Structure 1
Amino acid sequence: MTIPFVVPRAPELPAATWTAYLLTLAGAVPLVWRRRAPVAVLVGVLLATGLYGALADGPGQPLPYAGLVALYTVAVLSPPRRRLTTAAATAAVVVGSVLWRTGDARELLFSLFVFGAAYALGRLTDTRQAYLAAVEDRAAQLERANRIEAEQAAARERARIAREMHDVLSHAVSLMVVQAEAGPVAVRTAPERAEAAFDAISDAGRDAMVQLRSMLGVLREEPEGGADALPALVARVRESGLAVSYTAEGPVAALAPAVAATVHRVVQEALTNVVKHAGAGAVEIRLTVAETVTVRIVDDGRGRRGEGEGVRGRAGSGLGLVGVRERAAAHGGTVYAGPGPGGRGFEVRMELPGSTRSSSTRIGSTRNREADG
């Protein structure tokens, strides 16, 4: 806006005056505060421009730059009612100014077009800023959700590892303790049984080490040991002197790996608690694979003595029953742990929705039975 005052003018044109230049500055300087008071700045700019046209005979401007910038700012920052009212008033001022000065239709159309373009550009800018703000807010929400999900996944992983550690170590150590306690008696009364007891301790320790290496090596993979490994598990428990019977019905080999691992761990945990707490002489395990997968472990021991303790209600950390229920819940199943049939002994029963490697696998009636040991 200053350029017309510093560029030499034709001799026949009136010289530029300081009054005209100061009025020009009065129409431009208020733009410094346009974001704080957009409507007031627009009014001040239009007044300064009107005074320039009425009082000064200075060099003309190709475009009303200050008014266009002020109207653009009003379109960007003002609320709808104030924005529309100001735009209508500005249009009226533009029309009146052109009619008062020249009355030329082409100048009127051009003036309305450039002011309308400034207003439209302001609205587009406001829409774009609102869109970017919404995108940034959505990105922040997704980041928070991802962070929360990652924390929850880490917590679930820690809980899973805790369950695995509890199941592996509790089972192995329980067998080792029972065999170790029986060892000194066997040495005095039946040396040949003492050797078997020490072999059982060694086998339990090696098995625990193998499973721990697998768990620590690949923490995010389910440790080895499925339903097909139950006969070996039963055989190890029998070495402690407990009479264990195991019956499997249905396509056990077709169980999905995750379900098979859950079945194995639940049976392992139940047997561990029988060895540690039940004082039982016999335990029966029945696995049925049909429309639902049912695991039932029943012993003839003392049964439940209290609440809030281990699977059997005896002294312990309580992780056993919690872990069993968490495993079942992960597959949409349920667990019953309480008195056995007729109130005798103790029963652990888990039911899971049927889940096999192939949904087309037909549930057969083949029964694989292993004789009592």
Structure 2
Amino acid sequence: MALLDRLRALPPALVNLALTVGVLAAQLAPFTSADGEWPLVLLLPVLAASLPLLLRRRFPMTVMFAVLIAVPFYDIIGNGPDQPIWYGWIVAVYTVAYRSPPPHRLVAIVLTAVGTLFFAGSVDTYVRTLTAWVAAYALGRVAVLTRQQSLALRERAMRLERERELAGERAAQQERARIARDMHDILAHAVSVMVVQAESGPLAVRTRPERAEAAFDAIAASGRDAMGQLRRMLGLLKETQGPLDPQPTLDRVPELVDRIAQATLVETGTRLDLCHDAEVAAYRIIQESLTNVVKHAGARSAEVRLTWEAEALRVTVTDDGRGPRGGEGGQGLIGIRERAAACGGTASFGPAPSGRGFQVSVRLPRGLAEVAG
């Protein structure tokens, strides 16, 4: 295929010239290998059956009929060496089969059959000539079908490549969106906790020093945790990366809740084996919900409840604050819904059942669980 591609890449005029020279040399070869003298006028049919091939691409039908008409004059003049095969005619027929539309090809078939029958001197000559014509015509049609199939395969390969590129771009966009959500959750949670603790620190220093010390410890812990998680997320964007800490899962939820003074954790039911992505999603959902509690709710208390059902984990975060107002927490709530949907789950938000405060409820199904054995 590489050789054919190189040949197709050659300039058409150069290919036509090479074919014409080759055909002319083949038609003149009998004059050099046979004994005797021949009139120079015999060269005219030979030239007329060869030189028109220079224009075969632009005028395939005209060239074929010009060659077809020139061939009989060789026998009419006579006294020349035998020409076993008229190569120019074969090339012209091949070109018509390859380049001409169906109506032109039909005309060529009819006129060639009639003309060959009229000028053939014997049945043997007619059969031999017709066989050569059929072979040349068949080669032209096979070349057309082969080229069409090659073009179709190339087009399909290009289409598949474009689809792979688009799929890669979509995957990259989804990954960037996921990383952006994670970084939003990490920064929003850490900064919110640090701000709240820092604001309460000066008052605690004067009234309850031990409370101030705990606040400063919480600030330091939140900062270290945020730095560690951000380092991991940024490491995902590097081409070369060393060992990275695993993403936080349910095992780190108690640590997360402990950083929020007004938050408590309640877990009921028998724990299931969720897949890693679902556990990460649960952690991030709790993290974002507690961030909203700290930033927007003004709550005195908040409860994080993990309820293990028969086929799912239900995560509920309830506070007694005022809940999001206007656009507050909007992007975070959207992120929670997207995380739940990515794991095949659902998320809902609204006023707490008590009538005061706000509640986030997420259900992550066990369908994505990795069950051992």
TM-score by length of 1: 0.85
Q: 3-state DSSP class of the match of 1:225?
A: coil
Quote how far apart the aligned CAs of 1:22 are.
Answer: 2.0
Count of residue pairs brought into register by the alignment:
341
CA 1:4–1:202: 2 relative to 1, 3 Å: closer
**Equivalent-residue separation in structure 2 for 1:325 and 1:223 (angstroms):** 23
Note the 1:107-126 alignment, pairs <5 A.
107-126=125-144
Give yes or no for contact 1:247–1:286 (8 Å, CA) kept in 2.
yes
Quote how far apart the aligned CAs of 1:346 are.
Answer: 1.0
| Aligned counterpart, 1:232 | 255
Structure 2 gaps of 5+ residues are 1-23, 239-243
CA 1:256–1:9: 2 relative to 1, 3 Å: closer
Give the counterpart of 1:135 among 129, 153, 176: 153
**Equivalent-residue separation in structure 1 for 2:68 and 2:79 (angstroms):** 17
- Once the two structures are overlaid, the 10-residue window that deviates more, 217-226 or 71-80, is 217-226
> Is 1:148 matched up with 2:171?
no
Give yes or no for contact 1:211–1:223 (8 Å, CA) kept in 2.
no
Quote how far apart the aligned CAs of 1:6 are.
Answer: 5.1
Residue by residue over 1:129-187, the C-alpha shift from the partner in whole angstroms, topping out at 9 and shown as x without a partner, is 01110111111111211221221122111111111111111111111111100000011
> Is 1:294 matched up with 2:317?
no
> Is 1:350 matched up with 2:372?
no
Quote how far apart the aligned CAs of 1:75 are.
Answer: 1.1
Q: 3-state DSSP class of the match of 1:36?
A: coil
**Equivalent-residue separation in structure 2 for 1:292 and 1:343 (angstroms):** 27
Instruction: Name the one with the larger helix percent.
Output: 2
**Equivalent-residue separation in structure 1 for 2:324 and 2:298 (angstroms):** 12
Give yes or no for contact 1:299–1:345 (8 Å, CA) kept in 2.
yes
**Equivalent-residue separation in structure 2 for 1:331 and 1:245 (angstroms):** 23
Give the counterpart of 1:97 among 103, 114, 119: 119
> Is 1:7 matched up with 2:26?
no
| Aligned counterpart, 1:323 | 335
| Aligned counterpart, 1:185 | 203
| Aligned counterpart, 1:77 | 99
Q: 3-state DSSP class of the match of 2:49?
A: helix
Q: 3-state DSSP class of the match of 1:169?
A: helix
| Aligned counterpart, 1:369 | none
Residue by residue over 1:3-38, the C-alpha shift from the partner in whole angstroms, topping out at 9 and shown as x without a partner, is 247516424xxx333322122111111111111121
The residue type paired with residue 246 of structure 1 is V
Structure 1 gaps of 5+ residues are 312-317, 361-373
Q: 3-state DSSP class of the match of 1:281?
A: coil
**Equivalent-residue separation in structure 2 for 1:350 and 1:285 (angstroms):** 12
**Equivalent-residue separation in structure 2 for 1:157 and 1:173 (angstroms):** 24
Give yes or no for contact 2:254–2:265 (8 Å, CA) kept in 1.
no
- Once the two structures are overlaid, the 10-residue window that deviates more, 77-86 or 219-228, is 219-228
Note the 1:1-373 alignment, pairs <5 A.
1=24, 2-4=27-29, 7=32, 9-11=34-36, 15-55=37-77, 57-98=79-120, 101=121, 103=122, 105-218=123-236, 223-238=246-261, 242-252=262-272, 254-289=273-308, 290-306=310-326, 309-311=327-329, 318-341=330-353, 343-354=355-366, 355-358=368-371
| Aligned counterpart, 2:7 | none
Quote how far apart the aligned CAs of 1:217 are.
Answer: 2.8
- Once the two structures are overlaid, the 10-residue window that deviates more, 208-217 or 218-227, is 218-227
| Aligned counterpart, 1:314 | none
Give yes or no for contact 1:179–1:197 (8 Å, CA) kept in 2.
yes
Quote how far apart the aligned CAs of 1:343 are.
Answer: 4.1
Quote how far apart the aligned CAs of 1:338 are.
Answer: 2.2
**Equivalent-residue separation in structure 2 for 1:222 and 1:353 (angstroms):** 26
**Equivalent-residue separation in structure 2 for 1:94 and 1:335 (angstroms):** 83
**Equivalent-residue separation in structure 2 for 1:132 and 1:20 (angstroms):** 43
Residue by residue over 1:162-214, the C-alpha shift from the partner in whole angstroms, topping out at 9 and shown as x without a partner, is 11111111111111111100000011111121111111111111111222222
Q: Which runs of 4+ in 1 moved over 4 A?
A: 219-223
Alpha carbon RMSD of aligned pairs, Å? 2.2
Give yes or no for contact 2:30–2:82 (8 Å, CA) kept in 1.
no
Give yes or no for contact 2:266–2:303 (8 Å, CA) kept in 1.
yes
**Equivalent-residue separation in structure 1 for 2:301 and 2:224 (angstroms):** 26
Residue by residue over 1:322-367, the C-alpha shift from the partner in whole angstroms, topping out at 9 and shown as x without a partner, is 221221221222221222225421111122332221188xxxxxxx
Q: 3-state DSSP class of the match of 1:61?
A: coil
User: Which of structures 1 and 2 has the larger relative contact order (alpha carbons within 8 angstroms, sep 6+)?
Assistant: 1
Quote how far apart the aligned CAs of 1:243 are.
Answer: 3.8
Quote how far apart the aligned CAs of 1:269 are.
Answer: 0.4
